[in-house]
Amino acid sequence: MSKQTKTTLKRLSLFSITWPILIEVFLQTLMKFSDVFMLSFVSDEAVAAIGVVNQIMIFMFVLFNFTAMGCGVVVAQYVGARKPKDVSKTISNAMVINLLFGIFISVVVVVFRNPLLNIFNLAPELREYADIYMIIVGGTLFTQAMILTVFSVLQAQGFTKDVMYVALGMNVLNIFGNYVFIFGTLGFPQLGVTGVAIATAACRALAMLTLFYMLYRRTEVKIKWKQYFTLEGIYVKKIMKIGVPGAGEHLSHNTSQLTITAFITILGTAALATRVYAHNYAMLMTMFSMAMAKGMQIYIGQMVGAGLLEEAYKRMYRGLKIAMVIALVAGSILAVFGEFFIGIFTNDPDIIAVGAVLLIIGVLLEPGRTTNLVVISSLRAAGDAKFPVIIGIISMWGVSVTLAYILGIHMGFGLIGIWIAIALDEWIRAIIMLFRWKSRKWQKMRLVEDEKGTERTTA
């Protein structure tokens, strides 16, 4: 390895990569949090309806993310190997794939929104809210496909601050839009859920345009326009090698969550609203873990691309320890003051009581979830993408979904039983993923050529 490569990797420390990602993840979480908080001024029914729709939207994000995720890993390894031409070709291929796919999914969501919503058997008072939100936000989902792709590309090259600034701008615009449309201030009409949908769609469109500008102005990689009209098999194959299995793990998770949400609809509107409130706080608990997972994916991807396999092995454990401590501290605070935090959203005593218990269970759940986030991202960054999805499918459906129905519905423990089932799934997968990392099998799965010109794409 050249001295220049070592110097670049040393300068681009895990901390310098991760802290802007932490703020970006916080801002993305805040964006969802602010939506729920402001919708709570409309009604608990509005919160429940949009909570269900957002499960569908998250499912669609996973479909977009398989290209973005695969592109990010391949770009990170090419950056580590100092191959700028391959970086630019990887980016152009990924952007074309996700734009076409994003437009297709946007059309599907709008046209088939009724069958999608029928899965959840929503009450009539919830259906109207859900329908308009799916038309406006679902019809512009292609913008989110491009945002995810360019986010991943910029972060893989170390431009995590730029992504952070865009996330900040999205938050400011989204909160402003929510405020004026929900409360009808500054001369804007009072539109409620419709206004929230318009604000979400508008801020994503502006973010997409800003990111395109940054991609060309900030990075050293130059993408020629003709590259957008040519898909090259070698780059598409590498993107899909990581993206498809990686997305499969996320797809399995979100499909299982959709199924569990369908179980929760059986418990009623109050249970749906409680789930939304508790889930938003769960995202706060995992915020640093998610940032560390993203940072590790970039950092380990670049180290693996540069051939620093032993250092990559040790750095994962260091990152996991830090993420675990911070997640547990945040979770403990939320658990101790659970009733207060749930009470911010609602005055319903039943929702507050159950939500507070869910936050306590969240502290027990968090070590497993944190381990999965960090270790799976690290495995994926090294090229080991198939193993996590195989284990994920088995555990999510065999443990999480199955036990969620048995404990939550059949045995009557409700949301508490469902949360216990989710915790068991996270812990089982976490233990297996740690053994996988310790086995070092991922060290034989590099995606880029080493110094002798040998391509390593299989185990």
d(CA 293, CA 125): 39
Residues 6+ apart with CB under 8 A from 315: 14, 296, 299, 300, 303
Domain extent at residue 290: 7-443
Split into its structural domains, the chain has a count of: 1
Beta bridge partners of 455: 449
Q: Compute the Cα dihedral for 77, 81, 84, 90 and give only its sign.
A: negative
* CA-wise closest residue to 196 among 42, 339, 338: 42
d(CA 302, CA 74): 9
d(CA 404, CA 408): 5
Q: Compute the Cα dihedral for 17, 20, 26, 27 and give only its sign.
A: negative
Inside any domain, residue 363: yes
Inside any domain, residue 458: no
Inside any domain, residue 41: yes
pLDDT in tens, 373-400: 999 988 988 888 788 889 989 999 999 9
pLDDT of res. 442: 86
End-to-end Cα spacing for the chain? 22
Nearest-5° Cα angle at 430, 429 to 436: 90
CA torsion 31-33-38-41 (nearest 10°) is 170
pLDDT of res. 218: 67
Inside any domain, residue 154: yes
Inside any domain, residue 453: no
Inside any domain, residue 449: no
**CB of 33 closer than 8 Å to CB of 173:** no
- State the residue for tokens 């999805």: 389
CA distances 157 to 15, 160, 165, 246, 301, Å, are: 15, 8, 16, 20, 11
pLDDT of res. 429: 93
Inside any domain, residue 1: no
Report, as ranges of residue numbers, the positions in the chain whose pLDDT lies below 70.
1-16, 29, 32-33, 218-221, 246-247, 446-459
CA distances 434 to 57, 243, 250, 347, Å, are: 31, 21, 18, 42
pLDDT of res. 457: 40
Inside any domain, residue 64: yes
